[in-house]
A and B are shown apart, each in its own frame.
Chain A
Amino acid sequence: DGGITQSPKYLFRKEGQNVTLSCEQNLNHDAMYWYRQDPGQGLRLIYYSQIVNDFQKGDIAEGYSVSREKKESFPLTVTSAQKNPTAFYLCASSIGSSGLQETQYFGPGTRLLVL
């Protein structure tokens, strides 16, 4: 059963704590993306990676970090520098041959809440 999995579904962060959101895909896609979704706003691109061991900042990368050590995995760390982390975080992937102009397949999302 191919697809994108994100875990956990809900995540709670204490003040000053770093937390890591997991994203795994078994679609054999080269490109992976992280978005943040806030109520009343569209999705905003945090980071994307078009190939293993390489990634680029999106529009709102400050306070976040990523790694891409494996093709299947693209974890997102929300650092303590992100002052307003409460949001719905979505991971996506695409085949990767045409950059951002490709169909992106989204995971089910992780809702991050600050205690």
Chain B
Amino acid sequence: QQQVKQSPQSLIVQKGGISIINCAYENTAFDYFPWYQQFPGKGPALLIAIRPDVSEKKEGRFTISFNKSAKQFSLHIMDSQPGDSATYFCAAVNTDKLIFGTGTRLQVFP
């Protein structure tokens, strides 16, 4: 199977809170998992990515947690800010397949 299931579809968080977005994949051949951030009317931009040989990767306020046995990975945004309001996409990649999740619209309120 080639699907990547992403949840929730939308998320509302108060400023300073933690935003958590989850993704699950089925094909164990995927070996690269990027997250992209997209602002309205713009193209997506790479935010952070992880390979399955590590369980966690942190860059500033953004952390990816990876559970290889469960075939799940998640994005945590610490101290969420109004400027983080955007749509977030996870993706799963192998040498000849790139599948995006359906996206999560995050709104951070002051």
Q: Does A45 contact B (CB under 8 A)?
A: yes
Q: Does A109 contact B (CB under 8 A)?
A: yes
| Chain B contacts for A107, CB-based, 8 A | 43
Cβ–Cβ contact A41 & B102, under 8 A: yes
Cβ–Cβ contact B44 & A43, under 8 A: yes
Cβ–Cβ contact A43 & B42, under 8 A: no
Q: Does B83 contact A (CB under 8 A)?
A: no
- What is A's interface to B at a CB cutoff of 8 Å? 4, 40-45, 90, 92, 99-101, 103-109
Q: Give chain B's interface residue range (CB within 8 Å of chain A).
A: 20 to 34
- What is B's interface to A at a CB cutoff of 8 Å? 4, 6, 9, 31-32, 34, 41-46, 49, 89, 91, 93-103
- 20 pairs across A/B with beta carbons < 8 Å? A4-B43, A40-B102, A42-B4, A42-B89, A42-B100, A42-B103, A43-B100, A44-B100, A45-B98, A90-B44, A99-B95, A99-B96, A100-B98, A101-B31, A101-B95, A103-B34, A103-B46, A106-B45, A109-B41, A109-B43
B32 nearest in chain A by CB position: A101
How distant is the Cα of A98 from the Cα of B29 in the complex, in angstroms? 16
Cβ–Cβ contact B43 & A106, under 8 A: yes
Cβ–Cβ contact A100 & B97, under 8 A: yes
In the assembled complex, the CB of B58 is this many whole angstroms from the nearest CB of chain A, namely 18
Known: A100-B93, A101-B95, A103-B34. A42 touches B43 (CB 8 A): no
B45 nearest in chain A by CB position: A106
How distant is the Cα of A45 from the Cα of B96 in the complex, in angstroms? 11
Cβ–Cβ contact A108 & B9, under 8 A: no
| Chain A contacts for B97, CB-based, 8 A | 100
How distant is the Cα of A4 from the Cα of B44 in the complex, in angstroms? 12
How distant is the Cα of A100 from the Cα of B101 in the complex, in angstroms? 16
Cβ–Cβ contact B89 & A108, under 8 A: no
In the assembled complex, the CB of A71 is this many whole angstroms from the nearest CB of chain B, namely 20
| Chain B contacts for A104, CB-based, 8 A | 46
A43 nearest in chain B by CB position: B100
